[in-house]
């Protein structure tokens, strides 16, 4: 494992530098040193699958460290996805450095760039400790940076679908009346805003770990005429609402958030504490059983961490029922592969020509799912459910 080709060494060096790791901070897996980061090399992905299984990774990589897996022969994306799946949940793949005759190509989720050097044909997969990837600091920084993107772009081809999804979740479990509404992990606030607009004069409370998201959400609420809106910063496992002396909320909605929780049980505990006795809880997230999600897990080595961390609707339902909540209804929305791919083409190449028909298809799909109580899980990328909080 110690002798590696000059090409692989060049790619490994590029991966180390690109990951901001000094050469003094990294050691070879199994050498028993005290460094934060580690690397291992193998002839190919199949040998790596076996070798990594038998390697002392826990003692080689520090609690916030990176693991660099260097391959003399590059693997296919499916090979790398298998490696990534094997190392989950201790590690999460964040970058691939492909040594190619034309140079070293750096891939992350959503970006590609050609770096200097001409190292031939080899590959380095960069993985980070999950506790680092999902740490509060990383989460806050990531969403602060991407906050504008999560707000949607009015007038863009994807905007009608973006707003429809938020409205769909917001109206899914609309109670007969509500005066205190909480958006739990609000992002730009659109779910909570749609809910609050159902009950003029109601108060909207929202929170998010990202101060920038909270700032945008409060601004959106004002523009949409939701005047009674208060935002706070915080995480779901220790929600900033309600503070001591404040009442709980009669309608709590959390859309697309539980998959970001590093400790899903603690997050559910936090969620349940916010709902008033007999109040309505609506929660939705990624559908694990979807054809698209399953395909991506098999074939994409670089995925957002939430796609691997997602919990099934059945798991969440069981967790909430164990906490005394009563299931009211559940179903699915957002048609899966190939609809998102067609939507992408529609947005990037067709200037929105198909936006309306695609939205109608999704609306019809969501209605059918609701009518059938969530049948055909594999056809939808998201689930949603409504529950009732226990009476005091």
C-alpha to C-alpha distances, 118 to 8, 41, 56, 122, 164, nearest whole angstrom: 11, 19, 32, 11, 47
Contact 164, 255 (CB under 8 A): no
Sole binder of ligand SAM in the list 97, 168, 235, 251 (CB under 6 A): 235
Question: 124: which DSSP letter?
Answer: E
Please say which residue, 11 or 255, places its beta carbon nearer to ligand SAM. 255
Contact 74, 98 (CB under 8 A): yes
Segment contacting ligand SAM by CB under 6 A, of 46-54, 252-260, 318-326, 349-357 = 252-260
What is the rounded distance in angstroms from the CA atom of residue 41 to the CA atom of residue 46? 12
Residue whose token pair is 């779910």: 191
Please say which residue, 99 or 292, places its beta carbon nearer to ligand SAM. 292
Please say which residue, 65 or 187, places its beta carbon nearer to ligand SAM. 187
CB of 369 to ligand SAM, least distance (A): 18
Segment contacting ligand SAM by CB under 6 A, of 73-81, 91-99, 204-212, 326-334 = 204-212
| Residue 161 near ligand SAM by CB under 6 A | no
Please say which residue, 202 or 255, places its beta carbon nearer to ligand SAM. 255
Nearest 5°: the CA angle 379, 303, 108 is: 145
Angle between helix axes 190-197 and 211-223 (nearest 10 degrees) is: 30
A 10 A CB-CB count for 63 gives 9
Q: What is the per-residue DSSP string for 11-79?
A: HHHHHHHHTT--GGGEEETTS----SEEEEEESSHHHHHHHHHHS-HHHHS-TT-EEEEEESSPPPHHH
Segment contacting ligand SAM by CB under 6 A, of 75-83, 118-126, 249-257, 320-328 = 249-257
CB of 134 to ligand SAM, least distance (A): 8
Please say which residue, 251 or 260, places its beta carbon nearer to ligand SAM. 260
β-strand partners of 283: 254, 385
| Residue 208 near ligand SAM by CB under 6 A | yes
Sole binder of ligand SAM in the list 39, 97, 143, 383 (CB under 6 A): 143
Select the residue whose beta carbon is closest to ligand SAM and give its number.
187
Please say which residue, 57 or 188, places its beta carbon nearer to ligand SAM. 188
| Residue 231 near ligand SAM by CB under 6 A | no
Q: Encoding tokens for residue 117?
A: 């050097």
| Residue 166 near ligand SAM by CB under 6 A | yes
Q: Pairing relation of β-strands 91-100 and 380-388?
A: unpaired
Over the window 90 to 129, marking each residue x when it contacts ligand SAM by CB under 6 A and - when it does not, the resulting string is: ----------------------------------------
Q: Which of residues 184-203 bind ligand SAM (CB under 6 A)?
A: 185-187, 190-191
CB of 234 to ligand SAM, least distance (A): 7
CB of 39 to ligand SAM, least distance (A): 30
CB of 44 to ligand SAM, least distance (A): 36
> How many residues make contact with ligand SAM (CB under 6 A)?
21
Please say which residue, 35 or 259, places its beta carbon nearer to ligand SAM. 259
Contact 219, 228 (CB under 8 A): no
| Residue 173 near ligand SAM by CB under 6 A | no
What is the rounded distance in angstroms from the CA atom of residue 281 to the CA atom of residue 180? 12
Contact 96, 126 (CB under 8 A): yes
b/e burial code for range 139-161 (CB count within 10 A of at least 16 → b): bbebbeeebeebbbeeeebbebb
Sole binder of ligand SAM in the list 60, 123, 202, 210 (CB under 6 A): 210
Q: Which of residues 276-335 bind ligand SAM (CB under 6 A)?
A: none
Nearest 5°: the CA angle 341, 346, 350 is: 145
| Residue 264 near ligand SAM by CB under 6 A | no
The residues that touch ligand SAM, with contacts defined as CB under 6 A, are 139, 143, 150, 166, 185-187, 190-191, 208-210, 213, 235-236, 255-257, 260-261, 267
């Amino acid at each position: 494992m110690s002798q590696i080709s000059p090409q692989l060494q060049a790619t490994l060096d590029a991966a180390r530098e690109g990951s901001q790791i000094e050469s003094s901070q990294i050691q070879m897996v199994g050498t028993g040193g005290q460094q934060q980061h580690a690397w291992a090399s193998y002839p190919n992905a199949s040998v790596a699958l076996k070798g990594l299984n038998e390697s002392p990774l826990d003692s080689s990589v520090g609690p916030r460290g990176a693991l660099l897996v260097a391959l003399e022969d590059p693997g296919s994306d499916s090979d790398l996805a298998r490696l990534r799946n094997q190392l989950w949940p201790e590690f999460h793949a964040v970058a691939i450095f492909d040594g190619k005759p034309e140079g070293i190509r750096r891939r992350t989720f959503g970006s590609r760039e050609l770096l200097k050097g001409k190292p031939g044909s080899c590959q380095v997969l960069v993985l980070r400790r999950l506790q680092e990837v999902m740490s509060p600091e990383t989460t806050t920084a990531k969403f602060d940076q991407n906050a504008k993107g999560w707000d949607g772009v009015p007038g863009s081809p994807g905007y009608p679908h973006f707003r429809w999804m938020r409205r769909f979740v917001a109206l899914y479990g609309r109670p007969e009346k509500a005066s205190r509404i909480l958006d739990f992990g609000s992002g730009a606030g659109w779910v909570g805003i749609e809910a609050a607009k159902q009950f003029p004069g109601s108060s909207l409370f929202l929170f998010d770990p990202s101060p920038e998201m909270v700032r945008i959400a409060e601004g959106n609420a004002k523009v949409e005429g939701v005047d009674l809106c208060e935002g706070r910063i915080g995480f779901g496992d220790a929600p900033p609402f309600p503070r001591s002396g404040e009442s709980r909320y009669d309608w709590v909605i959390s859309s697309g958030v539980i998959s970001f929780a590093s400790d899903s049980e603690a997050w559910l505990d936090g969620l349940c504490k916010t709902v008033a006795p007999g109040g309505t809880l609506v929660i939705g997230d990624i559908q694990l059983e979807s054809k698209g999600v399953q395909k991506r897990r098999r074939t994409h080595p670089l995925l957002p961490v939430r796609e691997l961390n997602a919990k099934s609707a059945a798991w969440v339902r069981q967790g909430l029922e164990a906490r005394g909540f009563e299931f009211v209804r559940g179903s699915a929305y957002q048609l899966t592969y190939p609809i998102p791919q067609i939507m992408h083409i529609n947005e990037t190449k067709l200037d929105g020509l198909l936006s309306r028909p695609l939205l109608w298809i999704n609306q019809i799909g969501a209605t059918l799912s609701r009518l059938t109580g969530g049948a055909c899980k594999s056809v939808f990328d998201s689930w949603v459910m409504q529950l009732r909080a226990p009476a005091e």
